[in-house]
Chains A and B, each alone.
Chain A
Amino acid sequence: MILSTLVFLPLLFAFIVLIWPNLKTVRHLALGLSIAEFIVSLGMLENFNPQSASLQFVEKFNWIERFGIQYFFGVDGISLWLVLLTTFLTPVIILASWSSISEKLKGFHICLFILQTAMLGTFLAMDAVFFYAFWELSLVPMYFMIGIWGGARRIYATVKFFIFTMAGSVLMLVAIVYMMYLTQEATGHMSASLLEFYKLKIPFVGGTFFSVQTLLFFAFALAFAIKVPAFPVHTWLPDAHVEAPTPGSVILAGVMLKMGTYGFMRWVIPLFPEASEYWAWLFMLIGTVGIIYGALVAMVQPDVKKLVAYSSVSHMGYILVGLFAFNAYGFSGGLFQMLSHGISTGALFILIGMIYERTHSREISKYGGLAGVLPIFTIFFFIITLSSIAVPMTNGFVGEFLILIGTFKAQPAFAYFAVSGVVLGAVYMLWMFKRVFFGAQGELVRDEKHPLKDLNAREIAVLVPMVAMVFIMGLAPNYFLNYSKASIDNLVNSKNGYSLTLTENAQSILDFVPGNAPSGASDGSANVSKITPEQGDN
């Protein structure tokens, strides 16, 4: 039951916040609850078996029996760290928003907890319709978060965000229903289970757009590409980021964008292997263009937050390139980059939020010489900057390095261009750093009437875990990669006949429900017998 607990605990928390009588202690309450959630997720990590590529802690019940739609949670090496990233960032966000969110406190924390449920559900759901429900649900709290607590153009930004993402995902829904009918054709009974989808052999014809697999591939890929966001459907992101309140930006950059890349890894590539391979050049191309375009646009932004937003486009481009290299380096680099981008960009947004609280401006030109005034802040900012430009020993380096190795092995032509992003990334980040922290003191910095105060204990407490993660992930990447290695190897080795098995561990015996568990068990064993000959062929 650990995964259900993990997903639906925040919903319960939202309810507790709703009925909590004392408005003054809502923040403390929310912080405590989110830490409890993090501890639960650590408990899951503790019991996770890194050697296994199969789905663990599986919970499988019939939800809508008529269509074979299941309440189906499971975690493997691909989703494990994304879950932990989500639960790790939430308390940090609550602590970071301690003083910046002062209105409608309850509403804010309720949104945050509902969003957490939706995001965790997206990462853990293994049934297409179940997944889709969480995927769409995540839009609603984010929509409110940007719309209520956001900046001046928040309404434009939030509506754009909602409609863009929704527009991408409705075609995915049609594709899901279509695939449910394909399972009915193949097995005689309809199912929306991802494991059943993996078993489908969807006909693929190269050279034409109108073959079944290609169309399904694009229906899914569009939904995820908008979420990533890949060039040229990235335009909602800068608006949403700039207008969102700090906690909203952190969640958006830290976790929600990963829902897109996770979708590619979990759904698109294993479900449509031939189409993915055939159209890999396209996604490599938009990934590479995204890297360079994002970096170039970031360079000229006058607004720090917008600069970081565009840097996200660039960093997410790396992940896309890495995933479509289809080798172990690319996949593990992509996965690692998802985590490290979540940490470093999340931290950047928090830092920008902190300085914004002090000066109420994000204009780079109004700063300068901040290093002399706010030394502690500068140190933190510098570490995160280094992590963002992927300096060795920080988390950013590992991901980008692995991705570039993978790309050089698979498609060197794209790697030549993608590698330029490393240099460009250094250019825009360091140039921004120079303009903000060094040189002559800007008008906001030397403002005598409003002397700037350096970070207080709470703010340091927010940043310390983030910086710690930067170094832990940079120095001991293997700790993280080992957990996902088995899953990624499985994905690489059996990409054209991908399947997942269910672990028969103590957890699922505990969940034994007459009528449900036996079918789950037979599913698993059928997968095992099916995968072995195919692996032999490879």
Chain B
Amino acid sequence: MNFSIGLRDLLLVSPMIAMFILSLIPLTVKVLRGNQEQNSYVTLTQGLLGIVAAVVLVAVFGGAGKTAFNNSLIFDGITQLISIIALVSTGVAMIMMYENPATTGKQFSELIFLTMSSAVGMLILVAAVDLLMVFIGLEMMSLALYLMIAMSHEEKLSKEAALKYFILGSFASAIFLYGVAFIFGSTGGTNILGFMEKAPELIQTSRIFLFGISFVILGFCFKVSITPFHAWTPDVYQGAPTPHTAFMATAVKAVSFAAFLRVIATKSLIGSEHLFDILQWLAVITMIVGNTAAILQNNLKRTIAYSSVAHSGYLLVGVITAGISDSGVFGASSVIFYLIGYSLMTLGAFAIASMLERSEDHIVNIDDLAGLAKQRPMLALCLTVFLLSLAGIPPTVGFFGKFYLFNAAIGEGLLWLAIWGVLNSVVAVYYYLRPIVVMYMKDGDAQISNRSLNATTAVVVVMAAAIILMGVFSGPFFSIVERSLL
């Protein structure tokens, strides 16, 4: 085997290198200052610098279908777009961490370091085509996250959430690794590109391979919270500090779906009728469970957590579409476009939840929003935009995301999944309208946190505007996504 590492390979992974090196700055500074926390503002700037550097490098060097390190990393359109989604979400989450009572202040440097390490893991995960590389990325991302959640200043729920996430996450990783072992056993390799060609045949002839690929998919189902593997989601999302929740619900989910798309691109679904059927049912059940459970919630974060489970269901429809279509580009690009929109609106919703938290153990219920429209009309309007976009009302990006997703599904003959999807989005309207009802139509004195919230507010306003603009001009955006995947 040839281990020579060329400059080209290094340039391709330069975003990860840059991100990692810059992530060390806040930590090193803290050590040099004798364990004295530097000004959080400076730490945040250093973190954002890393994000910007990584985004630029991803945009410059990624996206031509090149592979690096003996075909174990691939840099194509999916890598590029999802990396950018993940990095931007990370940046927004960092800004939220800067102003959230549960995360700011002491140990902020460590937090930024961990966030950036997690993002490095994500970049690896997105680019990985070797299942072992996928595993490395997955673990790097998750380990940093477990620590981040446990580090919260809040004492009870976050510790429980961290432990739960750790145990279930490890469980999922184990299942994934178990599947990888079986795949290695049947194909003699772990590189997806290696067995991609013969996978549809292999899955019919080799039970071991079918077993392996099913377990790998199952592992992803855990990560993206597909029912019945979603049970950790609401607890962890609620218990974790809100910025971390936003980070998990967007960046982590986006990269997990990217890895999911890589595995599904092996056309295993075409080979195995059963796997295809099971995934379709999982998508339907996920939508139903996510939406009906969200109706029953009173806690704002828990509601959005269940809504994110439901959105995983919609996204799975797109993943399935990508898995059975000949080129898979339309399905995959609809998933990516949906992820862009979904990340914007979910980040926005969590950002507003974060702004309402006045202390690190403050639990925000939906009823606490009463009167927000009067106190903070701008924030109420932004939350309305996010919720209507999550509900899929035109002309927001949420509507067009769903439109492309179900359009792709109908194009591949999955009409019934599309019908389930739209019916579920009607159910979802009920709980998305509830916060709006409370904000605008009930009297109350909603208090937002009395700390300075300028950065988060600015981000929220920009995202709300982006949601509407990307909705109205969704055509060109979608074409860009689709062209970059070709």
Contacts and interface: CB of A to CB of B under 8 A. Distances in A.
A181 B475 contact: no
Given A69-B475, A137-B395, A162-B429, A174 B406 contact: yes
Nearest to B478: A66
Given A65-B475, A155-B437, A181-B410, A171 B422 contact: yes
B309 interface: no
B441 A148 contact: yes
Interface string B414-450: 0100110011011001100100010011100000000
Interface string A50-75: 00000000000011111101000000
B479 A144 contact: no
A154 B407 contact: no
Given A148-B441, A155-B437, A64 B474 contact: yes
A136 B437 contact: no
A163 B429 contact: yes
A122 to B, nearest CB: 12
A66 B475 CA distance: 7
A251 to B, nearest CB: 18
Contacts of B415: 174, 178
Interface in A120-168: 129, 132-134, 136-137, 139-140, 143-144, 147-148, 154-155, 158-159, 162-163, 166-167
Chain B, interface SS category: helix
A177 to B, nearest CB: 5
B367 to A, nearest CB: 13
A96 to B, nearest CB: 23
Contacts of A167: 423, 426
Contacts of A45: none
B433 A67 contact: no
A344 to B, nearest CB: 31
Contact of B403 (A62, A144, A173): A173
Chain A, interface SS category: helix
A165 to B, nearest CB: 10
A177 B429 contact: no
Interface residues of A, number: 35
Interface string B459-486: 0000000000000001100110010000
A391 interface: no
Given A65-B479, A144-B440, A129 B429 contact: no
A101 interface: no
B388 interface: yes
Nearest to B434: A159
Interface in B100-153: none
B407 A177 contact: yes
A155 B441 contact: yes
B321 to A, nearest CB: 13
B185 interface: no
A166 B426 contact: yes
A458 B100 CA distance: 53
Minimum-distance CB pairs A-B, first 7: A64-B475, A170-B422, A133-B394, A147-B441, A167-B426, A177-B410, A136-B394
Interface of B: 388, 393-395, 399, 403, 406-407, 410-411, 415, 418-419, 422-423, 425-426, 429-430, 433, 437, 440-442, 474-475, 478-479, 482
Interface of A: 62-67, 69, 129, 132-134, 136-137, 139-140, 143-144, 147-148, 154-155, 158-159, 162-163, 166-167, 170-171, 173-174, 177-178, 180-181
Given A143-B433, A167-B423, 14 more contacts: A63-B475, A65-B479, A67-B407, A67-B475, A136-B399, A139-B393, A147-B441, A154-B441, A158-B441, A159-B430, A163-B430, A174-B419, A177-B406, A177-B410
8 contacts: A66-B479, A140-B393, A143-B433, A148-B440, A158-B437, A174-B419, A177-B403, A177-B418
